[in-house]
């Protein structure tokens, strides 16, 4: 359903964010891979209805 599609989109975006996080980390940012993973899991656990 629509909800499943929204979660897949969020997970794909989270994967992109993890890649971007590596760049920020190289630039001196405070987030590490574990922080990004926790954020991605938190976002992924939110229902599609809440995201939209």
pLDDT band at 44 (very low <50, low <70, confident <90, very high): low
Residue 52's SS3 state is coil
Residue with tokens 């001196």: 28
Angle in degrees, 0-180, between the axes of helices 2-26 and 33-45, rounded to the nearest 10: 160
- The total domain count for the chain is 1
pLDDT at 20: 60
In 10 A of CB 36, how many CB atoms?
Answer: 20
Residue with tokens 């979660």: 7
For the chain, percent of residues with pLDDT exceeding 70: 17
Containing structural domain, residue 12 = 2-51
Q: pLDDT (tens digit, 9 = 90+) per residue, 23-43?
A: 555 544 555 677 777 777 776
On the 0-12 / 13-18 / 19+ scale of CB atoms within 10 A, 34 is exposed
């Amino acid at each position: 359903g629509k909800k499943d599609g929204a979660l897949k989109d969020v997970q794909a975006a989270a994967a992109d964010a993890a890649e971007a996080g590596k760049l920020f980390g190289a630039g001196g940012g405070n987030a590490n891979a574990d922080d990004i993973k926790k954020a991605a899991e938190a976002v992924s656990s939110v229902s599609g209805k809440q995201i939209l």
